[in-house]
A and B are shown apart, each in its own frame.
Chain A
C-alpha cells in the first residue's frame, strides 16, 4: 500500500496542471448544462447550449490527456526507462494508476452526474443502477485509452493509431452491407461488444504491466474494435426469441391480435396500397442487394387504458412450389392503444427487407406471407395529472418537462412538450392532453374532456439503464399540432373542425408496467409482390 500511495502522490505532483484542467472542465460542464435547459431544451436563443456543446468535448479531452500523461509517466514501451530497473512491483504500479483514474477521472465523472441530476430535480439515489451502468459505458472510453497509452511511448504515438482505427472503422461501417438490423436487440449486441472491449483492453493492460509484451498487446489492441463489432453482430443474433417472447398457447391465448388490413377498410383512410412498395425508410441501403416490402396491418384486443408494443417481427414468404424464405427478426416500433371511435381504424405499416435476388425470384408468384410478432402488453402503474403551463414540471423519478407555446393569431396554444429524463430511456409512459375545439379561451383554462384526450406514448421496457454520454439528461420532444377532427358518412368526410391544446389544459402522465411478453402470428394468403 505504501508503494501505491508513493507512486500515486508522485503522479499527483507531476500532473497537477492536467488535474486542475480536468476538474475545471467538469465543474464548468456541471454548471453550464442546467443553464442550457433554461427556456426548454428546444430553445434556440439560449447561449448556454452552445457553451455546453463546446465544454462537452473539452471534458472528454481533458480526461483523455490526464490518462495519457498518467500512464506515460512510467512508459511501458522501450528499454531505456529509468523506472524499469527500480524496485517497482507491477501490481502496485497498476493499482496506483487505477487508484488515480478512479479518484480523478471516475469520481469527478460520477459527481458531475449527481450534480446535474440534482439540478434537474431528480434524486440520484433512485438511479444507482443507471449510474453504475453509465460508469461501465464511459469505461469504453477510459479503459481503451489506458490500454492505448500503455502500448505507446508518448501522446503523439498514442493519437496516431487512434486516428487510424477511427478512419478504419468509419470506412468499414460506411461500406458494410446495411441489411436488416434487428435494432430491438441492439442491447444484446452492445452488451457483448462492451464485454469484449473491456475484456481485451483489460488483458492488454495486464499483459503490458506484468510482462511488457508490447507486440502482442498492440496486436490485441488493434483487433479490439473489430472483435467488438463481431461480438455485437453475434450478440444481436443470439437472442432466444422463444424465451424472451413465449408463443401464445390455447390455454393462454394472445390478448393482442394482429389482423391483416382488408381492402375495403383501405377505402376509409387515405393511405397507401395493399402489397409491396420499394420506397422505404431504411438508410444506407444498397438497393441492388435489398428490396423493401410494406404490409399494412391493424390491431385488436388492446384493453382500454392499456398499451401494446410491437417489439419485433419475423416475416416468412412461401411460394406455391418452393421452400419457405424465413427472414431474420426485424425491428418493430409501434405502440398500440385501444380506439373506441367507430369510424377510426388504427393501422400501421410494417416494412421489411428481403434480398433483391429473392424478391426478383418471388415477384411473379402468389405467395403466402406469415408474420410472427413479438409483443409486449402493458398496463398503467401510476399516473399524475398536472396543468400545462409555462413552468417546468417534474414527475418524480420519471421525467421533467416544459411546455412549448406559440401564438397563432389571437390565440396562444401549446405546441408541444420538451421533456428530459435521466440517464436512459424511461419505461413506457404516456402523456395525455385534452384538445379544445376552436380558439383557446383566456383564463380560466379548460378542464379538459377526459373522453377526448389524445396521447403520445414513449419509453421502452427493454432499454438499457443508461445511454453513453457525459450529461446524464436526455431529451425528447412531443408535439401537439393543431389537428382537424373529421367525421365520416361511410367513406365520405362530412365535417372537419380544428382542435388545439390550450395553456392550462391538464396533462396526464401515465407510467406503465409490463404485464406480458408474448409471440403471436398471422398468415396472409394470396400475397403478391409489386412487379
Chain B
C-alpha cells in the first residue's frame, strides 16, 4: 500500500536520525553531560549551545542526545525481554486452554486494572538500584498486552485446518506450536513490537519524570522535562528540547510499526 510505504520511510528516517545521535553520543558530545557553568545558565539556543543551557548551565543538546541513548537502550531491552516472556505465556494460554489459560488470563486482568504507580514503586524499592530495575518494572506493565496478542493469534491458528492436519499426522504439541502456529503470529507480533518500542519510550520518560527511572546525573528526557517545567516561561527550550525528542522518537517508531502493519496485514 502506498500510504504505508510513505509512513514507513518517514519513520525509518526519523528513527535513523535519533539512533545516529544516540550512537554519536557514545563517542562525542559538545559538552560533558554534567558540566556546569553558573555564569551561562539558562542561555538561549545559540551557536555555542544549539539547544541552549539549563538552570545549572549544562548544555541541553549534549544531555538530550545522551538521553536518547539511555531511553533507547531501556526501551529496546524492555521490549525484548517482555516479548520473550509474553510468547511463552501467550502460546501456553492459547494452546493449552482450560485452567492454565484461566489462571494466566486472570492474573493478567488484575495487573491490567492495577495502577502502574504502585507496580513501579514496588519494583523500584524492592529491587536493588540499577538501570535494569526500570526494565523489569516496565516489563511487568507490558506483559499483559503482549501476551493477549500472542494468545489471540494462537487461538486463531489452533483450530486452523493445516494445524489439524498436522496433528493428525502425529506432530507433537511442541512442534505444532513452534513450527506451525508461532511463525504465523510473527507478522502480527512484529508490528506490535515496534509500536511497543514507542510505548516503552513513553513509559520510560514517564517513569523518569517521576524520578523512578535512570538516576541523575545521567540525563533522561523525562527528568529533563520535569526539571524544566518550572522555568518553562523563562527558558522554554529546556522543556521543548527533551519534549520534542520524545515526540519525534515515538512518531518515528509508530510510523515504522504502522508501515509494517499495512504491509503484512492489509
A and B interact physically? no
